Amino acid sequence: MKGVFSAPGDYIHFKSQVPLHKIPIGTKQWRYYDFGPKAVPPLICLPGIAGTADVYYKQIMSLSTKGYRVISVDIPRVWNHHEWIQAFEKFLDVIDVHHIHLYGTSLGGFLAQLFAQHRPRRVRSLILSNTFLETRSFASAMPWAPVVSWTPSFLLKRYVLTGIRDGPHEPFIADSVDFVVSQVETLSRDDLASRLTLNVDAASVGSLLLSDSCITIMDTNDYCAIPQQLKDQLSDRYPEARCAHLKSGGDFPFLSRSDEVNLHLQLHLRRVGLEAQPDMVRGIPKDGAGGSHGEEKDGKEDPDDEPKDEEGSSEGQSKENQLCPAPESSESHTSHDQPLSNAQLCLIAPGDTIHLWFLRKQHVIAIEIFLQYTLEIFLRLASLSREVDVHHFIFWAKTQVNGVK
């Protein structure tokens, strides 16, 4: 799959302008983007299981030009919800952020609610999209959860991808699926295992001190991986919250319907009293220097700072460089208040656009034979030290294999 997906032109430009930060805090490695005026309390974006900090690049591009500060983070490798709350609080302390507004989708929305419940003084407002209040239904649908940390990476990726609706989509939704699938391919086994563990670990959101008037619920009306029953429970819990319904958008409206999502985010932030600082907006200079909080780059090339499709042939790279020239980015501690300039859209050749839903099927077929021979061996070994319903899991796994044919 690598070397085939063509990254969107605005994403390539984003990567060339906005620095990616990586900082260790205790035993956790945090990977995040931080852009916009530092004097403004930030909007922090939390992705779902299949997401990374990169999936909110359209929100960073749009809101930072209007004077808002946006931080997009990867969920670190934590294995229970208490560990998540402690780790996220330490992260905020290290980047010197005290009061925050949280935007969470799917698992990210659930984690945002937990943090608001246990650290109410730090959370000023919530934007929740396609999310839920409790994990019980996900735990019952994943009987092999006790051995998730032993499961090979390709099986975990396959399980995550089966949760994304397959089949023909509208072009903008298909593009969002392709982009998220490309991000799943960058996640390690431990990253996926920890996120799946958080998704099934027994927990529920209790009462919040935050007023319903400081909460916006943003859902899509067409379809998403979160059952409608769970979304209805969320609406019932916050009856006075503002509801923003998107006619369509699928699982990833922040990519497929970014203009509408960004508008609702701005309306929410204004409604809760967060004032943007448009007077602090300055264009990015020609040398590409951008500003945000974080460690200064050491001059080494970071593979995560490059577009995901640069692993293709040198011919493909030169073609993209011709289509999308962008200045090299550099980071400076003295330029915190320089948000992203107007994104330059780059044209991708039509022949390069290949829907990854079809490629995923090819990928699955390629490993199907290997799955047949290794699955039972792996489960039998795992059952020696963990109590798990092996036959139940074998039946589930074979159903998944047959389901993609």
What CATH number corresponds to the domain at position 14? 3.40.50.1820
More confident residue, 350 or 54: 54
Q: What is the pLDDT at residue 193? A: 97
More confident residue, 383 or 51: 51
Residue 402 placed within a domain: no
385-389: average pLDDT: 48
Q: What is the pLDDT at residue 169? A: 76
Residue 4 placed within a domain: no
Residue 280 pLDDT level (bands cut at 50, 70, 90): confident
Return contacts of 394-397, CB within 8 angstroms, 24+ apart.
396/143, 396/144, 397/371
Predicted confidence (pLDDT) at residue 388 exceeds the cutoff of 60 = no
Q: What is the pLDDT at residue 6? A: 72
Place of tokens 């003295």: 334
Q: What is the pLDDT at residue 101? A: 98
How many structural domains does the chain have? 1
What 8-state DSSP symbol labels residue 177?
H
| Closest to 275 measured CA to CA, from 128, 126, 124 | 124
pLDDT-wise least confident of 2-11, 59-68, 145-154, 376-385: 376-385
pLDDT-wise least confident of 184-193, 200-209, 284-293: 284-293
| Closest to 320 measured CA to CA, from 311, 332, 331, 329 | 311
Residue 359 placed within a domain: no
Residue 232, Cβ neighbours under 10 Å: how many? 11
Q: What is the pLDDT at residue 300? A: 38
Residue 144 placed within a domain: yes
pLDDT digits (tens, 9 = 90+) for 33-48: 999 999 999 999 999 9
Residue 365 placed within a domain: no
More confident residue, 296 or 78: 78
For helices 9-17 and 57-64, give the axis angle rounded to 10 degrees: 70
Predicted confidence (pLDDT) at residue 219 exceeds the cutoff of 80 = yes
72-99: average pLDDT: 97
Residue 333 placed within a domain: no
Q: What is the pLDDT at residue 290? A: 41
Mean pLDDT, the chain, as a whole number?
78
Residue 223 pLDDT level (bands cut at 50, 70, 90): confident
Predicted confidence (pLDDT) at residue 293 exceeds the cutoff of 80 = no
Contacts of 1 (CB under 8 A, 6+ apart): 181, 182, 185, 356, 359, 360, 363
Which tokens hold the place of 213? 């008037």
More confident residue, 219 or 334: 219
Residue 283 pLDDT level (bands cut at 50, 70, 90): low
Residue 96 placed within a domain: yes
Which tokens hold the place of 166? 């397959």
Predicted confidence (pLDDT) at residue 245 exceeds the cutoff of 70 = yes
112-124: average pLDDT: 97
Residue 330 pLDDT level (bands cut at 50, 70, 90): very low
Q: What is the pLDDT at residue 402? A: 52
Q: What percent of the chain has pLDDT over 90?
A: 58
Residue 220 placed within a domain: yes
Q: What is the pLDDT at residue 252? A: 95
Q: What is the pLDDT at residue 170? A: 85
Pairing of strands 123-129, 43-46: unpaired
For the whole prediction, is pTM greater than 0.75?
A: no
What 8-state DSSP symbol labels residue 163?
T
More confident residue, 230 or 279: 230
Q: What is the pLDDT at residue 384? A: 53
Which tokens hold the place of 174? 């298909």
Q: What is the pLDDT at residue 91? A: 98
Between CA 145 and CA 36 the distance in angstroms is 40
Range of 129's domain?
9-280
Give bridge partners of residue 215 from the DSSP assignment. Answer: 126
Query: Is 111 in contact with 87 (CB distance < 8 Å)?
Result: no
Between CA 176 and CA 252 the distance in angstroms is 6
More confident residue, 29 or 327: 29
